[in-house]
Chains A and B, each alone.
Chain A
């Protein structure tokens, strides 16, 4: 299918081009040329169908669920564009072959160029609007890469960035607009959209859709106020400018306008927005162009101005003006491309593009100069050249539009004439200023004629200008007919391409423009060659700077402070947010409904009340002490914990009480071990007002949170309990779980999987703790030996006769503790075994044993313990996990799911009948892991003081080498 080839070839070419070696200039050129040529030929081959008024389609499935298909659609208008894109692309490739220097990394260049060609073809061939947006954004992206091709140069980076952001955001607006259009029409297919003009124009969402679409089109076509990206983009290599700013990139905008012209134009909104944007751009561009120093700058502004002209014509919404617009699209492409190339040659040969230094080039490069002169003449609208024809059309349209029926446009002919004057003036700078005048004195290089093939593209284009200018009907006529016919559809007007219309008002306007322009040029000459840079009045209106200022303001004056305000990284404010949101969320349902009323609670037992008076006192005191008296706070917290523990025991939860107790102990030990590394805080006298305020706030939060939770708990508690799944557990704990202690059966059987995950948490935390502590470096000030020891040491030093106390520290207790070890171990094992029927179980047992272990460390000191028992604690963790897992997996052998338990009672001598459930193995796994993990953490923490001691003695390398647990020595 030819259509597919048309669009696929460039991308394939781009891929290939990227893979070629860096310096393969010729190969690249041949490849790119071949691709472009192929494209042009395909387009040519499709002429018969298109000429017959057919609309060619190629559809492929893309995202049917969202009614999106990959749809290529070629009608006359698209065909004309395709021809333009490929044809001029071919010439640009040929030109680039000679323009790019051997040192440039050409693969990137040609690959991007081809990709751009593909994207542009994609736009014009899109059969649905989403696809159009797709390729639209692609052109923005690739143009960014092309403009930034010489990225070592700052201007190129700037130009690329600005172009991307302006056109890219325009594309996003277009995206939104297209979505709105799709919502209106109910489909994104171009045919459907083009068919439902009435619906669109009548829809309440017409205006937003229009604005969004226009935002896209006007940014792309560099219309005021978005024009400023185009001159910036001149930092690109000239072939890129010649391609992007004559035939492709900027034409995409007007292409879109023309595409949607039948459905969106004709309303006042369209008329006023598009026309005024066009008119302003038209004059502004032409005016500024006159005063450019940089030849490419001049061409850039003239491009802006000509695009303004096209936009204006499309805005007028009369069929004839649309014809003029389409005609001018082609003409402008031809002469502007050739002019850019000529500028490139001049730059190439002379080494400068400064119009003040470029004069008298005729002597050196007569052919190029004359070609450039003809092209500029076409740009200036000199008769017998194509520019003249479209200009005449424009003038007549301007006159026609400003007819008696709408007074508002009486200015239009005047605007048109003034524009004519300006364009003639800046064209004359190229026609007269550059070739003639005194011989150039301060050129970096002495220019010569370029190699013939470099000039060839210009010759072709100029020839086109001439032919079209002299015999339009024969040459451009049919193409224009096809394009117009398909673009305007039903309301295609009668028009005639003639060079000579007789003595008409438009002709008079042209003459005026010629004369006025020449006069203006003569008047301005001195000023242009010696005066200051830039156009009078508008000089200070620097688009890019404003734009950047805007961006910086957006990012650094607004975004950042705002982010710091609403997104402060301070932990306290984050937690405050969290508490606040949680409170809000909890209150949320209460807006709708009334507060649930709570039933009456049971009578209060004074004893427990007393316990809690103490407990709460402890909690509050801890809260108040925690900053300056950590130890006190720790003890008080323990007090609160005890109260909790008692409560569990009270309300028939012995397991909880037991667990709470042991965990309490171990946690306290942990915190104690940590305490010494924290800094001392001098009590600060005056509390700043702001802090006092924050305290009030926090107090409020705390009160709200506490009160809220209390209220919730009370309501929930005092309500009748629903029929819960818990009954099932009580019922089957023994018969099927084989245990009397329902809680334990739940833990190891009914919900064993929870326990499974829970011990894994413990294990992984232990690993993380350990890993982190290996890198632990205490703050220098906390390394010193504690004051008490210091005093004692000094004392001993003072009177040597006495036995040293430090050495015998806790001597008697340590002996007892050592004796205690076996006992504790036995207790632990007992707790483990009875767990299934009585309070106890793997976890409690593990923690108990761990506690016993720690006691040994306290008694004998780390070294003493580790000299005696050498084992890798991580081994216990691993073994525990593994045992638990294996026990669970064992069930698979019985064709049962993971963790299915198997119970049997064994009569064991002495101990009597013991539950021998597979759950027991699981519990043993728990035991091993809990013991391992707890000891691992505690020991790792305990070791810090050893290491700190060593740090004190400047044993630097020991830091990383010594690991808390002996077996890690190998690591």
Chain B
């Protein structure tokens, strides 16, 4: 017997799939129906995610739900695990999904066929990657996520996107190879694929097995770091994100975070204090890599003229900060980093949406048109971007976009009054005040403090330049035509950041408990492995049912 409510845990994966499938069964000509289907599903998805989040919020234990697929007990079958962190990430993904979909419905979803099903599959892949508790299943969902993201990146086609796509896909495939090598190596050493089980077995490994294990883990880590965007594995990222259509880029903001999430989860689960000799394996390298990434992102931000590339480098700065924070390996730092993650993800997503609105005003849609005209047959060109009624063309729109731009800049630079500052403060404060007061503040922590501050400065300089060029320099610019469904998502995301700044305490405490749970993974292990399958009837005559 298992209660219906327990199926909620798999809904974030099934719902998008079923939606996508039914979209394919509907005649593709009926765009409107499909679009509505997409909206319904995405919104429901967000609601489900929020419900899961509430469950995790209320649950006393670290793990708020374990779902045994095929009703097989833990190490043998595949499990989905809902804990504070994974549910939060799913909720975040759902939020970005709704935002970018609403933006896409204004225009972009018509820029190519099959946008909607691919969009749904993208959400499915991301959610699966967050929820699964099985290493190989993680690979499958990674691939699913990547495959869909290839589709979304190429959505709208055009030379720039195809070139970026070529690079992105090639890198992604190579990374997948590494992923496979790593997973199989870990299997050959530990004889299991279930993360929790693996963590248990690692403790008892010795000698050469441990070396092989660490090799496997390191190779695996490289595959994740490609996604997370660590320098020098991130050179594809700014180009790809800059080339992607605004809604796709806005959704991609979560993809790098998937990489970060996996690194965080696995490094603490497999190489936590329980891991014996290899406890804390690779942490220092993570820190160094993260710092290098911050530096690279800051340099790139300074050097980039194009606002989209600037945004791409902001993504890198955010990833670098998170990776370095993970490398520090201090529960308080992790907690603050999670808060920073939430804030920066929302900000980046909003920023990618915003850029298009802002630039549309500057050169009425020229860039988009250029791409689309090149990409589309003469007949299928989208409604020209400054057709009447494509949006309200009053200065108010310009003002709103301008304010939103300023807020994004503040968020990404970590300046008040929005949540970027709080996140950065919490992070840095945790850096200079280690969890155990006796410990001295290490060089790495100081270096990180300096780099985070300096990267903020770089972003300020770059943003001021970009903002002035976009909003002030043009003597008389035609006010952008902005549709409500385009601007609302931006406004909502930014409003959330403002709320985070005003009332950070509840979210922060939640994330701190999540971080503590990550740093003490025993509960996680026990509860995953203890989950019992539903009752099984005895094996009758040639009949079995579990």
Contacts and interface: CB of A to CB of B under 8 A. Distances in A.
Question: Is A–B contact present in the complex under a CB 8 A cutoff?
Answer: yes
A49 B515 CA distance: 45
A397 interface: no
Interface in A333-366: none
Nearest to B403: A18
A559 B171 contact: no
A563 B539 contact: no
Contact of B232 (A152, A581, A878, A961): A581
B492 interface: no
Contacts of B6: 897
Contacts of A721: 188, 191
Nearest to B136: A754
B270 to A, nearest CB: 13
A593 interface: yes
B389 interface: no
A556 interface: yes
Contact of B112 (A719, A775, A901, A968): A775
B428 A753 contact: no
Given A62-B504, A134-B417, A578-B171, A715 B151 contact: no
A588 B218 contact: yes
Contacts of B508: 63, 65-66
Q: In the complex, which of the residues A141, A754, A757, A956 has the most CB atoms of chain B within 10 Å of its own CB atom? A: A757
B497 to A, nearest CB: 15
A765 B376 contact: no
B124 interface: yes
B544 A735 contact: yes
Contacts of B472: 148, 151-152, 157
A562 B157 CA distance: 31
Nearest to B27: A970
A771 B155 contact: yes
Interface residues of B, number: 151
A852 B86 CA distance: 44
Interface stretch (A77-85, A165-173, A313-321): A165-173
A600 interface: no
B85 to A, nearest CB: 17
A560 interface: yes
Contacts of B23: 878
A851 to B, nearest CB: 22
Interface in B98-147: 112-114, 117-118, 121, 124-125, 128, 136-137, 140-141, 143-144, 147
B544 A754 contact: no
Interface stretch (A282-290, A491-499, A567-575): A567-575
B48 to A, nearest CB: 15
A61 B114 CA distance: 49
Nearest to A593: B211
A109 to B, nearest CB: 13
A885 interface: yes
B21 A753 contact: no
B464 A569 contact: no
By secondary structure, the B interface counts as helix
A597 B208 contact: yes
B70 A569 contact: no
Contacts of B21: 878-879, 881-882, 885
A716 B377 contact: no
A882 B22 contact: yes
Contacts of B311: none
Interface stretch (A506-514, A802-810, A886-894): A886-894
Contact of B154 (A66, A144, A772, A898): A772
Contacts of A414: none
B77 A62 contact: no
A771 B114 contact: yes
A697 to B, nearest CB: 16
B25 interface: yes
Interface string B403-418: 0001000100001110
Contacts of B20: 763-764, 881
Interface string B376-406: 1111100000000000000000000000001
B235 A897 contact: no
A186 B219 CA distance: 41
A567 B429 contact: no
Contacts of B543: 903-904
B2 interface: yes
B193 A725 contact: yes
Nearest to B278: A589
Contacts of A770: 113-114
Contact of A767 (B118, B197, B233): B118
Interface in A108-161: 130, 133-135, 137-138, 141, 144, 148, 151-152, 157, 160-161
A558 to B, nearest CB: 8
Contact of A179 (B68, B429, B460): B429
B439 interface: no
Contacts of B222: 578, 581-582, 585
A699 interface: no
Contact of B69 (A709, A712, A760, A899): A899
A879 B162 CA distance: 30
Nearest to B189: A722
Interface string A685-720: 000000000000000000000000100100110010
B140 A754 contact: yes
A269 interface: no
B435 interface: no
Interface stretch (B39-47, B247-255, B298-306, B518-526): B298-306
A172 B17 contact: no
Contacts of A832: none
Q: In the complex, which of the residues A67, A135, A888 has the most CB atoms of chain B within 10 Å of its own CB atom? A: A888
Contact of A753 (B69, B114, B155, B460): B69
B432 interface: yes
Interface string B18-32: 101111110111000
A839 to B, nearest CB: 22
B377 A137 contact: no
Contacts of B113: 770-771, 774, 971
A135 B121 CA distance: 44
Contact of A164 (B136, B300, B460, B539): B460
A340 B370 CA distance: 51
B266 interface: no
B2 A176 contact: no
B365 interface: no
A761 B140 contact: yes
11 contacts: A65-B426, A68-B425, A179-B429, A757-B128, A761-B143, A767-B24, A767-B151, A881-B20, A898-B10, A903-B545, A905-B542
Given A574-B171, A761-B144, 16 more contacts: A134-B416, A551-B461, A566-B231, A574-B235, A575-B174, A577-B233, A590-B211, A754-B136, A768-B147, A875-B24, A875-B25, A897-B2, A899-B69, A903-B545, A959-B377, A961-B377
Which 6 residue pairs of A and B lie closest in terms of their CB atoms, listed nearest first?
A960-B377, A878-B24, A596-B208, A768-B151, A589-B214, A724-B191
